[in-house]
Every structure is written in structure tokens, then in C-alpha cells.
């Protein structure tokens, strides 16, 4: 079973290694352009702890997917940006949808009302995900801009995030004591 949980900044080096493992096509889709190893490393090492949340998807203890949530730099941010990544063997299994659902809850619970996301036109999976979760897609200089308008948080959305944090901690503990368990799609 994959385990989804927020990463602590102290383990963001695992996120860097995950991004470096992306095959060329996934890397192109993730960064909407060609990106070198050095650029990925530089980017990961300069991520702003104060405005970034990374939700990781662990399979057998290894980080295989993530959504990076970056909120804008104002004191009371109203906008956020999302970027998804799954290593090729873990694509097309529905994990992107699970990451999307988590990200929307987290962003909504921070009273952020709008999400922006750049996506290459040929990224059919991402386009399908955006549509499924109610985002609007528009052209922006050859790329697609996805925008989600979010409702304010409520008791349920706050409880869901708290439960998911708890489930992530328990899942991490269980996979540490049973690391050989197989991933069932």
C-alpha cells in the first residue's frame, strides 16, 4: 500500500532524489521544459521552508511521487501553485488523483482561495485530473494554465487533513516494521 504524508523539511533531500529519478519525458512534463540534474538540485536546495508543503507518496519506504505546494510570498497568502511528479512505473494507477485530493484540502485549509498550475498541452493525464477536480484550463502562451477556485475551509475539511496526517504517520510506522510488503495497484 502506498503511504501518503507530508515531508519534513529535514527529508527534502529525498524529494530531490525522487525528482532526479524522473525519466526524461516525466521530467519534461513536470518542469514544462528540459531541466538538468544541476537545476533540479539547485531548485530543491533553495526551496523556501516557509511557503512550501510537499506531500510525498511512498511505496515500500521509497518516495515515488509528490505534490509540491507553494504559496505566494505575502503575509496572508491567497494564491498557491501546485506541481505533481510520479516516477514512470507509478503513473496511471490513480496516485495522481489521490495527491490532487490531498493538495486541494491542504490549500483550502490555509484559506487560500485560488490555485494556479502550469501544464504542457500534451499532458493528457494532468488535463484529465484538472477537469475531474473542477479546475478550469486556459491557454497561456503555448502552455495550459489550470486554475482552481476553492471554497473556505470548514470543520470537515480540517478534520480530513488531521485524519490524513494521522494515517500518514501510522502508515510510515507500519511500512517501517513491514518493509517487504508488496505494492498492490
Ligand X SMILES: CC(C)(COP(=O)(O)OP(=O)(O)OC[C@H]1O[C@@H](n2cnc3c(N)ncnc32)[C@H](O)[C@@H]1OP(=O)(O)O)[C@@H](O)C(=O)NCCC(=O)NCCS
Q: Using CB under 6 A as the criterion, which residues of the chain lie in contact with ligand X when the complex forms?
A: 26, 29-30, 83-86, 91-97, 117, 119, 123-126, 128-129, 132
Render 71-125 in DSSP notation, one character per residue: E-SSSS--EEEEEEEE-GGGTTSSHHHHHHHHHHHHHHHTT--EEEEEE-TT-HH
CB of 62 to ligand X, least distance (A): 15
CB of 22 to ligand X, least distance (A): 7
Task: Quote helix, strand, coil % in the chain, to nearest 5.
Answer: 45, 25, 30
Q: Per DSSP, what are the bridge partners of residue 82? A: 69
CB of 75 to ligand X, least distance (A): 27
CB of 68 to ligand X, least distance (A): 9
Give how far Cα 108 sits from Cα of 39, 101, 137, 158, 184, Å. 30, 11, 19, 9, 30
CB of 54 to ligand X, least distance (A): 14
Nearer to ligand X, 135 or 168 (CB): 135
Nearer to ligand X, 93 or 172 (CB): 93
Closest CA to 147 of 157, 159, 139: 139
For residues 14 and 30, the answer to whether their CB atoms sit within 8 Å is no
The rounded Cα 111 to chain-centroid distance in angstroms is: 18
Nearer to ligand X, 128 or 178 (CB): 128
Nearer to ligand X, 69 or 150 (CB): 69
Nearer to ligand X, 128 or 158 (CB): 128
Amino acid at each position: 500500500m502506498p503511504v501518503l504524508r507530508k515531508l519534513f523539511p529535514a527529508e527534502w533531500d529525498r524529494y530531490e532524489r525522487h525528482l532526479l529519478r524522473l525519466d526524461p519525458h516525466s521530467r519534461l512534463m513536470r518542469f514544462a521544459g528540459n531541466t538538468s540534474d544541476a537545476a533540479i538540485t539547485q531548485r530543491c536546495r533553495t526551496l523556501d521552508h516557509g511557503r512550501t508543503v510537499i506531500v510525498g507518496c511512498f511505496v515500500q519506504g521509497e518516495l515515488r511521487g509528490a505534490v509540491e505546494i507553494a504559496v505566494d510570498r505575502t503575509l496572508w497568502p491567497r494564491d498557491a501553485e501546485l506541481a505533481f511528479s510520479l516516477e514512470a512505473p507509478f503513473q496511471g494507477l490513480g496516485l495522481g488523483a489521490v495527491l490532487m485530493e490531498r493538495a486541494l484540502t491542504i490549500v483550502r485549509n490555509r484559506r487560500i482561495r485560488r490555485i494556479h498550475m502550469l501544464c504542457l498541452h500534451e499532458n493528457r493525464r494532468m488535463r484529465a485530473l484538472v477537469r475531474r477536480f473542477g479546475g478550469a484550463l486556459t491557454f497561456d502562451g503555448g502552455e495550459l494554465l489550470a486554475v482552481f477556485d476553492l471554497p473556505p475551509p470548514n470543520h470537515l475539511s480540517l478534520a480530513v487533513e488531521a485524519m490524513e496526517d494521522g494515517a500518514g504517520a501510522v502508515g510510515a510506522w507500519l511500512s517501517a516494521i513491514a518493509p517487504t510488503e508488496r505494492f498492490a495497484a
